[in-house]
Amino acid sequence: MLDRIRASIPALPPAEQRVAKLVLADPRSFASLPVTELAERSHVSKPTVVRFCRSVGYDGLSDFKLKLAGNVNEGVPFVHRSVDEDDKPGDVIVKLIDNAVSALLKYRNDATSHAFERAIAALAAAGTSGRRIEFYGVGNSGIVAQDAQHKFFRLGVNTAAVSDGHVQVMSATMLRSGDCAVIISNSGRSRDLIDVAEIARKKGATTILITANGSPLAQTAQGTNQILLGVDHPEDYDRYSPMVSRLLHLMVIDILTTAVALRLPGELRPMLQEIKKNLRAKRYTQP
């Protein structure tokens, strides 16, 4: 809810922006104070406080304060940090979409282009020279690894996705200089993935880490061949099912795939066209 309010500030009138900033400065107090005091602290009228609540998608001040009080307590554990028990389907739609959009926009502003440049250059070099590109992830991150492999193999590069811890160890052991290991982890605390990153590093492969900044996995990115693509988000990986983190990781994979495709040799595009043509022939109905 707070992320949603923060993202909506530029679209609000100046008076309502002052109310939004008061919410963000002290959400717990806002949820408990009467409208008169809220208006005084925001230097706006009482109707403006109510209009603000409606502008950000709530029925009024009472509804807003009720949801805010629940959101300050971090929503419903193991379901989603933004929803409340009594939310209607329309509330869930708005909250989840706003939460995702806010996280994506925040990542757009926070992403470090120089780290992406290094990762893209390493992946393009590996693809051009026929070296291996391995994607490692476990659990939900293993699904992201499979999506990455699905995207990269269409570029005609030597790629695989591995989610089994034992197979990851064997795969990383076979890596060599010029190969790339892309390691995906929401928490950055999986012992299996930290071990795999160390093995790949010792073998001389380039490791590209898609994980939370400051995590144990992120801290292994110390050498010239270790690249950190930090992905931070408001989800608590110990309590909530990962939704925003998955979208952010998939977005990172899309960025890497698109940029690498642009750098691979020119004969790639006719092959992609042929793949599309053959897939179209598999459809039961034609446009």
Domain extent, residue 216, equals 112-265
pLDDT of residue 237: 61
Residue 287 falls inside a structural domain: no
Token pair for 104: 């994506």
Residue 278 falls inside a structural domain: no
pLDDT of residue 93: 84
90 and 186 co-located in one domain:
no
152 and 255 co-located in one domain:
yes
77 pLDDT more than 90: no
Positive or negative: CA dihedral 76, 79, 81, 84: negative
159 and 36 co-located in one domain:
no
Single pTM value for the model: 0.72
Query: Is 211 strand, coil or helix?
Result: strand
Long-range contacts of 116-121 (CB under 8 A, 24+ apart): 116/229, 116/255, 116/256, 116/259, 118/227, 119/208, 119/227, 119/229, 119/256, 120/256, 120/259, 120/260, 120/263, 121/263
174 and 186 co-located in one domain:
yes
Residue 60 falls inside a structural domain: yes
pLDDT of residue 133: 97
The residue type of 80 is H
Q: What are the strands of the beta sheet with 132-136, ordered from one edge?
A: 158-162, 132-136, 180-184, 206-211, 226-230
Residue 219 falls inside a structural domain: yes
Q: How confident is the model at residue 72 (pLDDT cuts 50, 70, 90)?
A: low
Query: Is 74 strand, coil or helix?
Result: coil
> Is 96 in contact with 57 (CB distance < 8 Å)?
no
Token pair for 253: 């994979």
Rounded Cα distance between 70 and 1, Å, is 10
Residue 257's CATH number: 3.40.50.10490
H or E segment to which residue 181 belongs: strand 180-184
> What is the tens place of the pLDDT at every residue in 227-256?
999 998 766 665 566 788 899 999 999 999
Token pair for 107: 């990542």
Distance of CA 101 to the CA centre of its chain: 10
Mean pLDDT comparison of 25-34, 62-71, 170-179, highest-scoring range? 170-179
